[in-house]
Structure 1
Amino acid sequence: MTTPLPHRVLRALDEFNAAHPWDHNAHYHRWILRQLPRRFDTALDIGCGSGDLVRLLATRADEVQGIDSDPAIISRAQRLTPPATAATFTLADALTGVPAGPYDVITCVATLHHLPFAEALTVFRRHLAPGGTLVVVGLSRTQTAGDHLLGAAASPLNAAIGWLKNKGRRAPRPASMTAPTRPAEMSFSDIVGAVHDALPGARLRRRLFWRYTLVWRRR
């Protein structure tokens, strides 16, 4: 059985991490690029936030669409993106407002748990071109001993990375982390079952920093 960290240690880590925040989602952006071809025509980032991933995708794609339901964050993404970048940002609902595709690449980072899960996967699949790649970095509810072990391993590592990234100083919360959030409701095992029904052959893995990853290639 997993022994949880003492309450005082957890509280101290929480206080330290609040003073030295860093973007757990951006941590996986380079990993996402490694799952993708060197070049592709079109890409869609769902829940694009301030556009960091969209701008990375635009280094490989002819055209990238970023969508988000928050008008303030879309405005910020547009301001941060150089005019010559092959990127377009649209205020849109992830289920009903996806710009016409299909897309060779679809990415979705820390957004899927805000959506009706099965319905969202169906929408992603419908907009993905044959041979295209879907990559999701998501959040799941802590449930099993394995989940607690990963959380225990991530907590001190999270503090160490926050300290190094901020060079030991207190830091403001990264802009891409300021959107409203809500806790994940589905456990990883629930997610695995739902994904395998909707996306046969998808690869899922638990990850550090309270994330899981999903990669699916449409035949």
Structure 2
Amino acid sequence: MTLLPRRAPRALDRFHADRPWDHNAHFHRWILRQLPARVGSALDVGCGTGDLARLLAARAERVQGVDADPVITARARELTPAATPVTYTVAEAPGGLSDGPYDVITCVAVLHHLPFTEALRAFRDRLAPGGILVVVGVCREGTPADRLLGVASIPLNIGMALLKNRGRPAPRPVSMTARTSPADMTFPEVVREARAVLPGARLRRRLFWRYTLVWHLR
């Protein structure tokens, strides 16, 4: 945003406040493509209203969704059909996570709210042999590449907002929570600390101010 005129960020904020769309849900299908066709168990950390947990239930025999917000966790239960093999727990991650092990662990736009290294260790220790960790994260702009991707995301972001809202103002999706504290780690810092805990982890900058991390426990 620093490459734009000073007033542009405020105008964009007003535009997206009227036409919100869920950037995190945009990555859900990508997450599913990283996973095997069938798994035994899955854990979604920071599950919110359970959108991803319900998608994981199509692949997993059982899914555990965990979120620190009791109100949004109650909403997740309301939105999940009784026959769906998903259970929800109100708990703070990483300390409140059950021991597992899990074949799949997902974490979308939550890791920057947690103690980074401690959380990755907790995820690693709860994976079953052969398990996979998939993270969609948020990092602070700190390099020219970050800023260029941010600028490139702006017209795409506007286009997605218009497409998803059919050009009209719309209410905020229920899946979008108010927990939006900014990230304090840059992408190079994320890569360095993540690979110290998860050797061989694949990390990539993404559009829409996100990065992805994929790691397999061999």
Deviation at 1:168, TM superposition (A): 1.1
Flag structure 2 segments of 5+ consecutive residues without an equivalent.
none
The residue type paired with residue 152 of structure 2 is A
Cα displacement string for residues 159-183 of structure 1 (whole angstroms, at most 9, x for unaligned residues): 1100110011101111121232200
Matched, 1:78 2:96: no
Alignment-mate amino acid for residue 186 of structure 1 = M
Residue 6 of structure 1 is matched in structure 2 by 5
For the 8 Å contact 2:46–2:110, the answer to whether it is kept is yes
Q: Structure 1 residue 211 and structure 2 residue 191: aligned?
A: no
Q: Which runs of 5+ in 1 are unaligned?
A: none
C-alpha separation in 2, matches of 1:199 and 1:206: 17
Q: Partner residue of 2:88? A: 89
Deviation of residue 32 (structure 1)?
0.1
**Contact preservation (8 Å) 1:68, 1:92:** yes
Query: Given that residues 135 and 214 in structure 1 are in contact (C-alpha distance below 8 angstroms), is that contact kept between their aligned partners in structure 2?
Result: yes
Give the aligned partner of residue 195 of structure 1: 194
2:48·2:177 contact (CA, 8 Å) conserved in 1? no
Is 1:13–1:156's contact at 8 Å kept on the other side of the alignment?
no
1 CA distance for matches of 2:13 and 2:74?
Answer: 31
Following the alignment from structure 2 to structure 1, what is the Cα–Cα distance between the partners of residues 3 and 92? Answer: 39
- Partner of 1:105, secondary structure, is strand
TM-score, length-normalised on structure 1? Answer: 0.97
Q: Which residue of 2 aligns with 1:185?
A: 184
1:135 CA drift (Å): 0.1
**Where do residues 1-219 of structure 1 align in structure 2 (5 Å cutoff)?**
4-219=3-218
Aligned pairs, how many? 218
Scaled by the length of structure 2, the TM-score of the pair is: 0.97
1:17 counterpart letter in structure 2:
H
Find the residue that maps to 2:23 and give its secondary structure: coil
Would the aligned equivalents of 1:47 and 1:108 in 2 still touch at CA under 8 Å? yes
Please tell me whether the aligned partners of residues 128 and 217 of structure 2 are also in contact (alpha carbons under 8 angstroms).
yes
What is the deviation of 1:101? 0.9
3-state SS of 2:43 partner: strand
Q: Which runs of 4+ in 1 moved over 4 A?
A: none
- Identity between Structure 1 and Structure 2 (%): 64
